[in-house]
Chains A and B, each alone.
Chain A
Amino acid sequence: MLSRILLDSLTRRLSRKALSVVAVWIGLTLVLALLSLSVDVGDKMNLELRSFGANITVEPLASAIPVDVGGHRLAAEAVPSYLDEAELLKLKAITFFWRNNILGVAPRIRAAGQAKGQDVDLVGVWFDQPVATGSEPLVTGARQVYTHWAVQGAWPTRAEECLVGSAAARRLALAPGDTLALAVGREQLTLKVTGILTSGDKDDGSIIAPLSAVQGLVHAPGKVSSADVSALTTPDNKLAEKYRQDPKALTPDEYDRWYCTPYPGAVAKQVQELIPGSAARVVRRVSETQGMVFSRTKGLIVLLAALTFVVCSLSVTGILTAAVLERRPEMALLQAIGARRADVLVLFLAEMAILGIAGGVLAALTGPLLGRWLVSLVFGSTAELHLAVVLVAPFLGLGLAWAGGLWPVWQAVNQDAAQVLHGN
């Protein structure tokens, strides 16, 4: 009997029913598009925020631990120590859990040298280094990791070319196209300056040369002083903060959860475990800024989605109020012949559920598409279709219809049935 009433009710006044479905559909399309955007915003913004630089630095353990000798603290530079360059390739190896989160690696080797009779800092880096990843080819190095580097001239493409930091270029009176004779100890090297680098940090005072060239000067082939790693991470939350405060305070379950989440600290710890004799630390300035921007942006989008949901539920309320008002005599009659308020409520909520789910299913088709378009519009890249967003759509449609319809139906079932039946 209930299904008969429902079916008949749904097939009458089709225009009004269609209007309800369209209201849910349009509203949820917007909500789902925003939710899709909020899901994608993390990865997309992380990619955009790579301009802040690497968020993890890997150093030899010996450089990271202060060494006291006879009450004198030795600076790391005083005790040169290196990592194996080949070990860095493990970061993209299939065996590393976070390999897909590693966006780029920029190893460095430092040396103190002389040019034009003046002391200079020499930094060896990868500029564009192809790395075999097992799945897809990856080219990484300074050009990919230090996206904030501005080069006037051209990036080096050959082993005998280099960049000169803007401050060093002024000091040494160098310009693109000049030749630079470098000396490190007894070793000599002549490089052609292809560009002037402006980084905004201490690299502005350095000569940036190919890694292999500097390794040769310091007699450390296949060695690096440190590596900057750009990784896709998720912002720290209370759990990550708890680990930072005291790793031992985490329960085993919490630790597992922390370890399997790409918090900057968790990724750094696993990088450190991967590379023997290394110490990986999070560049807090970068990761916290990324986290803050990401959290606020995501929060804003989720807030917009929630507000859109509320606004849509209000419009659904308007449509359903009119529909319910029309059917007040029917509701009064049901109560007169023995239906409790809950019975009437169930009948009308079931009808609204069908309309809401129908709108939700339609929105499941259009919402993610709109979300993809928004992602391409905002970030200029394509977004994945998120199955979770599609699956949640009918439930959101149900929630939207109920949120919009509950109040008018509740008002109607609490009406003065006697007055309604007398046509007042």
Chain B
Amino acid sequence: MVTTQAISVQAVSKIYPGGVHALADVSLEVRQGEWIAIMGPSGSGKTTLLSILNGLDKPTSGQIHVLGTDTHGFGPDDWAVFRRENIGLVFQQFHLIPYLTAVENVMLAQYYHSMPVREQALAALERVQLAGRAHHLPSQLSGGEQQRVCIARALINDPKVVLADEPTGNLDEENEARVLDVFRSLHAEGKTLVVVTHDPEIGCAGERIVALSHGKVSKDTRTAEGERLLSARAVTGEVREHLR
């Protein structure tokens, strides 16, 4: 069966030790190729939801399907294998290995996926306009450059889903624009993007904004861009129907 859902979250709750309810009965569907933003105030459960979607955290209850795969019963190693095949992660703090150069940091993801190929890693850096800084250590790169290395690392294995946690949280406007451009091109290629952000500009760049409050989905709205794309898709569908 061909599924059009990239991510399906069914009644997911997360209760941390001590009884803190981070997520309460959250349900969410993300279509393949869709770009959604998860927004909300601090402590609303955005990051917890993203950690559950990427398998670094486990829900207390509920079900998660990613790319049609039921992840219920996945252990840490199952998730590791699933992530390296299907998911690219972008972190707010970049998390680059400090003693590896930019290109080596990208190749590290290749190493655990298949085999490191320097040319491919350089091409990934070229895509985020960092080919000239490939042999610099993270300490020699600006925050924006480190974030782009992080994005190149997330993309190197050609994931179908990219999960980003506050990707522009530590960046200036110029770098934020560059990151946004990369996300737009990913979206245009048909990647599924889930971006946790506080930034309305980033949020509005996607198709939908899912707002969380106190661990619950308080609002799920389509952005202007989303409406435009929806109309475009509808028109495309009518034309196809007409041609048939």
A190 to chain B, nearest CB (A): 94
Interface 1/0s, chain A 404-424, versus B by CB < 8 A?
A: 000000000010111101110
At the interface, yes or no: A343 with Cβ under 8 Å from chain B? yes
A347 to chain B, nearest CB (A): 11
Complex Cα gap A5–B111 (Å): 11
At the interface, yes or no: B81 with Cβ under 8 Å from chain A? yes
**B residues 52-87 in Cβ contact with A at 8 Å:** 54, 56-57, 76-77, 80-81, 83-85
| B77–A417 CB distance below 8 A | no
At the interface, yes or no: B6 with Cβ under 8 Å from chain A? no
Closest A residue by C-beta to B91: A421
Contacts of A422 in B (CB 8 A): 47
| A337–B47 CB distance below 8 A | no
Interface 1/0s, chain A 318-336, versus B by CB < 8 A?
A: 0000000000011011111
**Residue among A333, A337, A421 making CB contact with B84, cutoff 8 Å:** A337
Residues of A within 8 A of B (CB): 1-2, 4-5, 8-9, 12, 329-330, 332-343, 414, 416-419, 421-423
**Residue among A8, A340, A341, A423 making CB contact with B99, cutoff 8 Å:** A8
**Residue among B91, B112, B157 making CB contact with A343, cutoff 8 Å:** B112
| B80–A4 CB distance below 8 A | no
B4 to chain A, nearest CB (A): 26
- Of A341, A414, A417, most buried by chain B (CB within 10 Å of CB) is A417
Total interface residues on B, using CB and 8 Å?
29
Q: A421-B95, A422-B47 are in contact. Are A337 and B112 (CB under 8 A)?
A: yes
A44 to chain B, nearest CB (A): 51
Closest B residue by C-beta to A338: B84
| A418–B107 CB distance below 8 A | no
Q: How many A-B residue pairs have CB under 8 A?
A: 73
Closest A residue by C-beta to B95: A333
Additional pairs, 10, CB under 8 Å, beyond known A1-B116, A332-B56, A339-B112: A5-B97, A336-B95, A337-B112, A338-B81, A338-B112, A339-B80, A343-B80, A419-B57, A421-B56, A421-B91
Residues of B within 8 A of A (CB): 47, 51, 54, 56-57, 76-77, 80-81, 83-85, 89, 91, 93, 95, 97, 99-100, 104, 107-109, 111-113, 116, 153, 157
Contacts of B157 in A (CB 8 A): 338
| A334–B112 CB distance below 8 A | yes
A69 to chain B, nearest CB (A): 87
Contacts of A5 in B (CB 8 A): 97, 100, 108
Complex Cα gap A12–B100 (Å): 12
Closest A residue by C-beta to B92: A422
| B97–A333 CB distance below 8 A | yes
| B80–A418 CB distance below 8 A | no
Closest B residue by C-beta to A334: B112
6 contacts between A and B (CB under 8 A): A1-B104, A5-B97, A334-B108, A337-B108, A419-B57, A421-B93
Contacts of A337 in B (CB 8 A): 83-84, 89, 108-109, 112, 153
Complex Cα gap A103–B74 (Å): 70
Complex Cα gap A329–B84 (Å): 18
Contacts of B99 in A (CB 8 A): 8-9, 12
| B81–A336 CB distance below 8 A | no
| A340–B77 CB distance below 8 A | yes
A334 to chain B, nearest CB (A): 7
B118 to chain A, nearest CB (A): 10
| A336–B97 CB distance below 8 A | no
Complex Cα gap A1–B83 (Å): 20
Closest B residue by C-beta to A8: B99
